[in-house]
Structure 1
Amino acid sequence: MEVEILQEDGMSSGRTVALDPTVFGIEPNDHVLWLDVKRIQANKRQGTHKTRERSDVRGSRRKLYRQKGTGNARAGDAKSPIRRTGGRTHGARPRDYTQNLNKKTKRLARRSALSYRAASGNVRVIENFSMDVPSTRQLKDLLALLEVDGQKVLIVTDGVEQEIYRSAQNLQKVNVREAQSLSTVDVLDAEVLLIQEGALDVITDVLSTAQPA
């Protein structure tokens, strides 16, 4: 698949680039996509939730009243879960939600996500650009020239571009990621991928070497 390489003014540079079919043209695997998205979202969970159970509640362990002869239901101490001041039964405890997949599966998930976006014509390649100082207005004008303003845009950079990243902080629908750290969720969450020319080479080098699943 051939796509135009755009300039910063939104015009064509007169050059094209071929998208690697092993990265942008495979048959997407929906199950692998689901596995990788689930892994990424699970790994973001802190797992620090905690409720006070019977052993955590402050109070005496003395039996409230004798077992028999009172006419009441038998009762233990005040920390019993059936008491208002008691602990919670089977309460939440801190745990690790981390999941993992093998490298081959994670690469297939990213290639599937990229293929979905390429098939819908929402992959744009732009010449490498940088910003001298952070400027939300300048970045917004660039997106308008590229006719992608108002859409959820993911800008994929060749390397660390702090000025571009900071410029996008006030734009609700714009995210910036380095090509090396691009994830499946990043791709699926965006409507349009705006990939720098150098970043496209990085993505291709990282993902095209994966063996077919």
Structure 2
Amino acid sequence: MKVLDVYNQDGKKVDKIELSEKIFDGKVAETLMHQAVVTFLSNQRKGLASSKKRGEVRGGGRKPWRQKGTGRARVGSTRSPLWHGGGVTFGPKPRDYNKKITQRMKVIALKSALNAKFRDEEIVLIDKVSLDNYKTRVFSEIMGKLKLKNHKVTLVVGKIDNNLKLASRNIAGVCLEKAAQLNTYTALNCSKLIFTRDSIKIVEERISKWLS
């Protein structure tokens, strides 16, 4: 049985919570995690880089000078890749970087990421995050009380309210994520993964549906 301490916003231990043995079973599929991260990052790429080939450059249809007798090197067009302003040889063209993995693979990769974080003692559980205003100072003080300042953190919540969004967005290294959208990359790309009491239940339910 795996248990996590629950802290309040003042950094005081208030409870313990039992984690799902079905999900937190200690199994870490590193190859699958790598595949999920590569897929996620590839799908963020736009693939819009483009350059003009020789045949796409405007102008240059006329031979700049006659073939012989000038003493210059022979040339047939100013579109030549050898010329400044000419075409580009083997330059980039728009392409699709999209990769796909199955939903079950994504879920097992996320499960592995959570197990890896638990193994490395990088999961922090807090009761809730409740802000009366959207001041960055207030959120920063909460992070300080939890001893999470100067850490790269991902805060996973059940629902993102406006005060929390505005208060956390100006702090470097803080990523705010909805439990329903948590993925392997976001879970791994931090030194501390913070869950609220309700958000960890949502993530456990998400994963459990695919393990049964």
Common topology (TM > 0.5): yes
Q: Is the alpha carbon distance of 1:73 and 1:163 closer, same or farther for their aligned partners in structure 2, counting shifts above 3 Å?
A: same
CA contact (8 A) 2:65 2:75 kept: yes
> Partner of 2:26 in structure 1?
26
**Residue of structure 1 equivalent to 2:8:** 7
Distance 1:187 1:89 in 2: 41
Given that 2:143 and 2:149 are in contact with CA atoms closer than 8 Å, whether structure 1 keeps it comes out as yes
Q: Matches of 2:165 and 2:149 in 1, distance apart?
A: 16
1:72 Cα deviation from its structure 2 partner = 7.1
4+ long deviations beyond 4 Å: 64-74
* Corresponding residue of 2:192: 192
In the alignment, the residues of structure 2 paired with residue 27 and residue 180 of structure 1 have an alpha-carbon distance, to the nearest angstrom, of: 22
Paired letter, 1:22:
K
Distance in 2 (alpha carbons) for counterparts of 1:185 and 1:165: 20
Counterpart amino acid of residue 193 in structure 2: L
Deviation at 1:84, TM superposition (A): 2.6
How far 1:201 moved relative to its partner? 0.7
**Secondary structure at 2:200 match in 1:** helix
Query: What's 1:45 paired with?
Result: 45
Counterpart of 1:133 in 2: which secondary structure? Answer: coil
For 1:26, what is the secondary structure of its paired residue? Answer: coil
Tell me how far apart the structure 1 counterparts of residues 137 and 23 of structure 2 sit (CA, whole Å): 33
Aligned length: 211
Distance 1:85 1:10 in 2: 62
Match of 1:203 in 2: 203
Give the corresponding residue for 1:36. Answer: 36
Structure 1 spans left out of the alignment, 5+ residues: none
Partners of 1:25 and 1:118 within 8 A in 2: no
Q: How does 1:119-138 map to 2 (within 5 A)?
A: 119-138=119-138
Question: Is 1:80 matched with 2:93?
Answer: no
Contact 2:26 2:119 in 1 (8 A): no
TM-score norm. by structure 2 comes to 0.90
Q: For residue 93 of structure 2, what is the aligned residue in structure 1?
A: 93
Distance in 2 separating the partners of 1:71 and 1:34: 59
**2:205 alignment partner, SS class:** helix
Partner of residue 151, structure 1: 151
**Alpha-carbon separation, structure 1, partners of 2:68 and 2:201:** 80
